[in-house]
Structure 1
Amino acid sequence: MTEPDETPKGLNAVAEAAKQAPGRGLPPVHLWNPAHCGEIDIVIRRDGVWMHEGSPIGREALVRLFSTVLRLDPDGYHLVTPVEKMKIEVEDLPFRAVAVRREGEDLIFTTDVGDEVRAGADDPLVVDEDPETGEPAPRVHVRRDLWARITRAVFYELVEAAEEADGRLVVRSGGQVFPLGAVA
C-alpha cells in the first residue's frame, strides 16, 4: 500500500515554507531551486494590496508570510518554496515604504509588510522620474532585488528633512548621500 503524497501544494506550500522562518526572519528563498509550477492568481497591486483570485487578502499575517517567500527572478516575481515556484503579478513594486524615522544619522524605512530597512550603500534610496507623468518615483531597496515604493507622504517627509547641495535636495543615511531631485 502506498502513502498518499503529503507534500503541501499551492498556497499551503507557500505558507508552510514561510513558517520555516522563525519570528520575523526570512527563509533562504535565494538558495531554493524548485521546479516552476506555473502561475498562481495573486496580484500585488500598485497600492500595496495583495489580491488572490480577485479578492483582497485580508489577513495581514498571511500577507507577511507570503512576502517572506517572494523572489524576483529574470522572468518575474515568484512565491518560492523548497519544492514549488509559482509566478505572481506585481503591478509596480512588491512593497511600499509607509513610514520613515531618523536614528542618529540614518533613515529607517518601514514597509507595509513590516520590514525595516536602514538606507545606505547596501539598501539605497533611489528617485527615478515617472516616464508618464514626470513626477518623482522614489523607492528604497529592501532585500535581494526587492524594492519598496516610497509613499507620497513619506517622500514629503524626506523632502522636508532634505538639505540643498549643488542645486539638488539630498538626504543622508548610512554614510551615503541620496539625491531627491532638483531644487525648484
Structure 2
Amino acid sequence: MPYTPPPELASLSLAELAAQVAARKLPPIDQWSPQEIGDSEMRIAADGRWFHQGGEIRRPAMVRAFSSLLTRDERGQHWLVTPFQKLAIAVEDAAFLATDMQAKLDPEGRTALAFRLNSDDLVVCGPDHPLRVSGTAEIPAFYLAVRNGTEARLNRSTYGQLIDHALSLGSADLAVESLGHRFVLVPGT
C-alpha cells in the first residue's frame, strides 16, 4: 500500500490531529532486548538528511520506517532497534526536524502547539513532549521531545512560527503554553 502523508497541520482540528497521531502504529521498541549490538553505518545530518555508508537515503518511506525504530540512551547515543539488533546511528544534532507548527485549542480552551516533523510524524507539545531551549540569546536552538529520548530541532521557519506565536501573546518573558505547560523561549532561563 502506498504511503499517504497526513494532511497539512493548518487543516486539522486538535481532535483530527490526535486521531492522526493514534493511527500511527509504532513498533514496541521499548519491549525489545536484542542481543546483537553493532553499527548501522548510518548518519542523520544536522539538516535532517539520512545517509548510509556515505550515500543519501532518498526514499521518504525508508526514512520514515527507520525513524520509527530510533531511540536515544541516557548518554545521548542514538540507536536503531529491532527485535534482533541494536545498531548505533550517528546523529549530528537531532534525530528529527520540526518543519511546521500550528497553535490549536483543546476542548478545555487551552492552547496546544502541534508540530509536523520531517518524517511526517505529528507531535503535540506538552508534558510528554516538552520544548527545550539551548544555545545563546543570539543563537538559540529549540528542541521538541519526540519519543524514546529522541528530539526534533525546530528549523528556521518553525522557530519563526513559534516566536511569532509567543509575541502575539504579549508575554513579558517570551514564553508559550501548550496543554497547560509553560515554556520560556529564552536560553538559560
| TM-score, length basis structure 1 | 0.80
Partner in structure 1 of residue 4 of structure 2 = none
Report the alpha carbon displacement of residue 73 of structure 1 after superposing the two structures with TM.
Answer: 2.4
Distance in 2 separating the partners of 1:118 and 1:37: 32
Partner in structure 2 of residue 175 of structure 1 = 180
Please state if 1:47 is matched with 2:47: yes
Distance in 2 separating the partners of 1:36 and 1:46: 28
CA gap of 1:174–1:62, structure 2 versus 1, over 3 A, is same
For residues 37-90 of structure 1, the C-alpha deviation after alignment (integer angstroms, 9 at most, x for no partner) is 311210000000000111110000000000111111245111111111111101
The residue type equivalent to 1:181 in the other structure is: V
Partner in structure 2 of residue 16 of structure 1 = none
Q: Runs of 5+ in structure 2 lacking a partner? A: 1-22, 106-110
Report the alpha carbon displacement of residue 168 of structure 1 after superposing the two structures with TM.
Answer: 1.4
**Seq. identity, %:** 36
Distance in 2 separating the partners of 1:24 and 1:66: 14
1:78-117 → structure 2 map (5 Å cutoff): 78-104=79-105, 105-117=111-123
Q: Which has the higher contact order (CA 8 A, sep 6+)?
A: 2
Please state if 1:141 is matched with 2:142: no
Report the alpha carbon displacement of residue 25 of structure 1 after superposing the two structures with TM.
Answer: 1.1
Distance in 2 separating the partners of 1:34 and 1:177: 38
Partner in structure 1 of residue 78 of structure 2 = 77
Report the alpha carbon displacement of residue 134 of structure 1 after superposing the two structures with TM.
Answer: 4.8
1:115-130 → structure 2 map (5 Å cutoff): 115-129=121-135
Report the alpha carbon displacement of residue 179 of structure 1 after superposing the two structures with TM.
Answer: 0.9
For residues 134-153 of structure 1, the C-alpha deviation after alignment (integer angstroms, 9 at most, x for no partner) is 51110111112111001111
3-state SS of the aligned residue for 2:185?
Answer: strand
Partner in structure 1 of residue 8 of structure 2 = none
| TM-score, length basis structure 2 | 0.78
Distance in 1 separating the partners of 2:127 and 2:38: 35
The residue type equivalent to 1:123 in the other structure is: H
Distance in 2 separating the partners of 1:37 and 1:178: 37
What is the alpha-carbon root mean square deviation over aligned residues?
1.7
Higher strand share: 1
The residue type equivalent to 2:54 in the other structure is: G
3-state SS of the aligned residue for 1:108?
Answer: strand
Distance in 2 separating the partners of 1:108 and 1:60: 21
Distance in 2 separating the partners of 1:63 and 1:47: 14
Report the alpha carbon displacement of residue 24 of structure 1 after superposing the two structures with TM.
Answer: 2.7
Q: Runs of 5+ in structure 1 lacking a partner? A: 1-22
- List structure 1 segments (4+ residues) > 6 angstroms apart after TM superposition: none
Distance in 2 separating the partners of 1:137 and 1:74: 20
